Amino acid sequence: MRLDLPIRPRRNRKSPVTRGFLCETRLHADNLVLPLFIHPGTGTQPIKSMPDCFRLDLDAMYREVEGALKEGVRAFDVFPAIPESQKTPGAEEAWNPEGLVPQAIRGIKARFPEALVITDVALDPYNADGHDGLVQDGRILNDETVECLIKQALCHAQAGADVVSPSDMMDGRIGAIRDGLDDMGYTDVSILSYCVKYASAFYNPFRDALDSAPRFGDKKTYQMDPANVREGLRELALDEMEGADIVMVKPATFFLDVIKTVRENTALPVAAYHVSGEYAMIKAAVLNGWLDEKRVVLEALTSIKRAGADVIFTYYARQAARWLAE
């Protein structure tokens, strides 16, 4: 029997060359950012909740950057694990010009000038309370925190950062940081705003990696409710008006609708962060033999790009780049 079908969609899927010719969304290594966990000691330290991820000393970090560049990954985001002895209520280590992050920035740019260095601007790794902002009587201080973030962003810019990325979600910090950078002549330093960042349950492995979990309460007074989308559009409008160059949605996989909505409401580049919990879920299933790692990772990252992300932060950046090159 042959059906009388003038329209047969399967014709467009009949062979690899046909499927490739008609592919609507293409993932490339240039779309990927590799987060780097660094520590001030020596050697590498495994992160139990993130198999195959490590805290790196500076030498190991340089080797990681060199390897990633060879594989086509050219953008890196630096996250520090700070010793308890350097964590204070005022988070002063965040803008120490001889601190771990400025050392890492200078080292990467000296060895690999072609690398794009992104830095996290937030106080939680340095704050004795583990919060992204200064704390007073159990309350997160907004304006006083922004003053600190300006100093932190300037410290990173002075060390050679290409992009500073405020992840703290304090009100008004994008405009204040932009003004601070411009006033000191750093007009070419870009701001990637964690614009739509949710108070998600998927961050725990990251906090294990940096020992940066809040010492009390949670982050719901500054990070967004996962139930909300319109609130994110308000944050987007404000950050765009204040001078953000790139905007981010975080997390990614469970927020594809938000990525799509942000994409449809801005002309700015949109980034998305495939976060530690999303990574850990895939790794756990792979280690149990339940999923094909390559296929699942590429499907996840492609779905994030299909939703509208121009840039994807992922711990799978190097593996994905290798798989895409096959």
What is the reported pLDDT for 2? 84
What is the reported pLDDT for 140? 92
Class of domain 26-216+225-325: alpha beta
DSSP result, 212-234: ---SSS-STTTSBPTT-SHHHHH
Active site residue 14: no
What is the DSSP code (8-state) at residue 15? S
CA gap 214, 198 in Å, rounded: 15
What is the reported pLDDT for 7? 85
What is the reported pLDDT for 249? 98
CA gap 282, 320 in Å, rounded: 14
Instruction: Look up residue 234 and give its amino acid.
Output: R
What is the reported pLDDT for 209? 82
Structure-token pair, residue 286: 């792979």
What's the pTM? 0.94
What is the reported pLDDT for 219? 86
Distance of CA 297 to the CA centre of its chain: 17
Q: Which residue in the list 87, 219, 250, 283 is annotated as catalytic?
A: 250
What is the reported pLDDT for 212? 74
Active site residue 109: no
Q: Are 164 and 119 in contact (CB under 8 A)?
A: yes
CA gap 80, 86 in Å, rounded: 12
CA atoms within 13 A on the CB side of 81: 23
What is the reported pLDDT for 273? 97
Q: Which residue in the list 197, 219, 283, 305 is annotated as catalytic?
A: 197
Q: Are 167 and 197 in contact (CB under 8 A)?
A: yes
Which segments within the chain are labelled E, that is strand? 32-38, 44-46, 54-56, 75-80, 116-121, 134-136, 139-141, 163-166, 190-197, 246-250, 270-274, 311-314
- Per run of 10 residues, the mean pLDDT along the chain (length 326 residues) is 86 88 89 96 94 96 98 96 93 96 98 97 91 91 96 98 95 96 96 96 86 80 94 97 96 97 96 96 97 98 97 97 96
All structural domains of the chain with their residue ranges? 26-216+225-325
Cα angle 3-5-7, degrees, rounded to a multiple of 5: 155
DSSP result, 82-131: --GGG-BTT-GGGG-TTSHHHHHHHHHHHH-TTSEEEEEE-STTTBTT-S
What is the reported pLDDT for 96? 97
CA gap 237, 53 in Å, rounded: 35
Residue 189 makes CB contacts below 8 A (sequence gap 6+) with: 153, 157, 161, 162, 163, 164, 181
